A and B are shown apart, each in its own frame.
Chain A
C-alpha cells in the first residue's frame, strides 16, 4: 500500500501536467488544434513513446553491461546521452505522422501537439520515479512537475514548431534542426541535474523548465508576427525589392489575396475561410461607402442610402463575427488590425481584383476616375428620375439610379454622324437630350433604309446594357444631337455587387419573358385552331378579352431598342393579324363553298 504522501505525490504528478495541457489548449488563441488530436498526442507520449523508451533504454543498459561496463556507468551513459536521443526521436514520431494530417495546420498546432506528447511522457516517467523513491515522493513530484515535465514538453514542442514551420518553408532541414535542438536540450538538462545536488539542482531544473515554457511562448508570438509581416508583404506595395524578379513574375496573374487566402485556409480551415472572405468583402465595402460619404458632394437621398447600407453592412459584419470562432477572430484582429488604414486600403484594392463581383468596384472607380464630379447633386437627382422612367430600371430605387447616374457621360454628335453601326457590339445605352437619333437598316449592298426616329426624352439601346448583343441596325445623329450615354461596362460594374438592383431588373425582364412566352403559347394555340379549321375562335380574338395578362401598364419613357419593340405592342398587333386572317379564311372558304354548291 503506498503511503498518503506517495498518493498525494501521484496526484500532483498527474493533475498539474493535466492542468497544464488544459491550459495550453485553452490558451490556444486560434483553436486550430483539435482536442482529440491533442489527447492522442498525450497518450502517445505516455504509453507509446514512454513504453518503447523504457524497453529500449533497458536494452541499452543490458547491452552495455554485457560489453563489460558497470551498472552505474551504463546507467550514466543512458541517462546522460542515449536516453535523451531515443526519447526525443520516439516522442517526435507521432508529430511526424501528424504533420501530414489536415488537423496539423501550422507551427502553433505543432507546439501544442508537441507539448502534449512531452507532458504525456513526463507524467508516466514521473510516476515511475515516485514509485521508486517513496520516502521523498512529494518533493520529487513537485520538483519534477515544474522541471522535467516542462523540459519534456518544451523539447517536443520545439520539434512540433519546426515541423509546423516546414509547411510554409522550403528549408527541408528544419525538422532535423528541431530534433537536434530537442535532443541537445534534453542532454544538457539530464547532465545538469545529474551533476548538481540539493537546492542548486532544484533551482537550475526549475529555471530550465520554466524558461523552456517561456521560450515556447516566445516562439509562438514571434511566429505570429512573422506571419503578419508576410501577409503585409503579400499585399504588394511593401513587397521586398530583394525578392527578385522571378518571384514577381510568378505572381503576375495570380492575385496576392488569393495567395494569402490559400495560406489562411491551411491555417484556419475551409469553413472559417468562407466566413473570413465574407467578412473581408463586408469590411472592404464599408470602407468604400465611407469614402463615398467623405468625398461626396451628393444629394441627401444618396447620402442617406449610403449611410443605411453602411449600417446594414456593419450588422452583417457583426453577424459574421458571431459565427466565426472567437479564437479565429483573435487571429484576424492580430493579422488585420482595424486601425491599420494603409493595410485596409490595399485590402480593398486586392479584394476588388480577387472578388470583383462582391466589392463595390464601381464606387472605387468613380473615386479614382473623377467621373463622379461631372454632375451636380441636383442634376444627378433629375437624372435618376429620368432613368427610372426607362422600362428596365423602373423597379430600381432612385438612390441606386442616382449612384449609377454618376457614370453617365454627355456626348454630342453632328448631323449625320454615326453613333453605332449594324453589327457593332452593343456597348452603350443612349438617352436623347436634344436633337434626334435616326435608325437605319443596312442591306447587303450597304444601302440605308430608314426605320425609326427617336426624339428628346427617348432611349435607344436599353437592352444593350443588359445583354451586349450586336446592334441590328445603324444609328445616326439627325440634326445636332446631345445624348446621355451609359456604357454597358459601367452598368455591369455597378450592378455586380448590388443584388437588389439585379433583382429589380430581373423582375422587369421576367415580366417581359412571361409575356412573350404566353404570347408564343397563345400563337401556337391560334395556329392549331386555324389548322383544324376552327376559324371562328380566332376571328373573335380582337373582340374577346386577352388570354394573357398584359405587363403592368406604367407611364414609361418612349423606350426602344431599334430591334426590340415593346412586347405588348407586338402581342396586340399579332392578335389583330390573327383575327383578320381568320375572317379572311372564313370568307375565302365561304366563297369556295358557295362556288362548289352553286
Chain B
C-alpha cells in the first residue's frame, strides 16, 4: 500500500482525493526510534504528525502523584498527533516508542505550505473533523444517559443505549470498555448479593 493510500484510511483524510494525498505523502519523512525513546512530552509545542509503519506508540499522562497513566497504544497504520498539523497547541499527552518504531512524520510547516497550494485538502479535512466532533459528542451524550440509567440500576436499558457497533476505533473502544464494565459490575453485584443472601439465610 502506498503512503497516500495509508493516509486515506485516517478519519482526518478520509474524503481527501488520492492525488492530493500523494502530494501530502511526498512531504513526509521517514524516522525510526529505539524502544523507550520519547517522541514528545506533554506541554511541548506540537509541530508534527506521526504515521506508524512498524512498532507501537504508547500515549500516556502523569497523574498528580507522578504515576504514568497509559491512555492508549497506537499500532502500525495508525496516526498520532494529527491535530498538531492544524494548530501549534502544546501536546496534551506524552508519547514514547513502546517497541522499536518506524514512523513517517509530516511537519506542520510542510502541511501549511501544501494547504496554501491546495485549499481543497483543508475543505475536506474540515468536513471530516466537523463530522467527527458531531459524532463523538453524540456518543458522549449517549454515555451520559447510559450512566444515569446505571445509577438507577437499569442495566438492560443502559446497554441498549450504548451497544451499537461503529466504524470509529475511538468510539468502539469506548463501547467495549462500557460493556465490559457493566458485565463486571453485574457479576460483582450478583456475587455480593448472593453472599448477603447466604448470610441472611444463616441469620434466620
Contacts and interface: CB of A to CB of B under 8 A. Distances in A.
Contacts of A561: 134
A11 interface: no
A509 B136 contact: no
A596 B195 contact: yes
Contacts of A170: none
B141 A499 contact: no
Interface stretch (A59-67, A212-220, A523-531): A523-531
| Cβ-closest 5 pairs across A and B | A502-B122, A595-B196, A466-B130, A592-B192, A467-B130
Contacts of A457: none
5 contacts: A358-B119, A495-B119, A502-B126, A519-B140, A527-B181
B133 A509 contact: yes
B138 A563 contact: yes
Interface of A: 357-358, 463, 466-469, 492, 495-499, 502-503, 505-507, 509-514, 516-521, 523-525, 527-528, 530-533, 544, 547-549, 561, 563-565, 567, 570-571, 573-574, 577-578, 580-581, 584-585, 588-589, 592-593, 595-598
A467 B181 contact: no
Contacts of B116: 499
A511 B89 contact: yes
B83 A499 contact: no
Interface in B102-156: 112, 115-116, 118-120, 122-123, 125-127, 129-134, 136-141, 143-144, 147-148, 150-151
Interface residues of B, number: 60
B35 to A, nearest CB: 23
Contacts of B31: none
Given A514-B83, A544-B64, 18 more contacts: A357-B120, A495-B119, A503-B112, A506-B86, A507-B86, A510-B87, A513-B83, A517-B136, A523-B177, A524-B174, A527-B181, A531-B177, A564-B134, A573-B144, A574-B140, A577-B144, A592-B195, A596-B192
A547 B61 contact: yes
B200 interface: yes
Interface in B70-99: 71-72, 83, 86-87, 89, 92
A527 B89 contact: no
B69 interface: yes
Interface of B: 61, 63-64, 69, 71-72, 83, 86-87, 89, 92, 112, 115-116, 118-120, 122-123, 125-127, 129-134, 136-141, 143-144, 147-148, 150-151, 170-171, 173-174, 177-178, 180-181, 184-185, 188-189, 192-193, 195-196, 198-200, 203
A588 B86 contact: no
Contacts of A548: 92
Contacts of B87: 506-507, 510-511
Contacts of B134: 463, 467, 469, 561, 563-564
B137 A578 contact: no
A544 B63 CA distance: 11
Contacts of A506: 86-87, 122, 125-126, 129
B132 A513 contact: yes
Contacts of A533: 184, 188
B92 A509 contact: no
Contacts of B185: 530-531, 585
Contacts of B131: 467, 469
Given A511-B87, A580-B151, A525 B133 contact: no
B130 A531 contact: no
Nearest to B191: A592
Nearest to B136: A516
Nearest to A462: B130
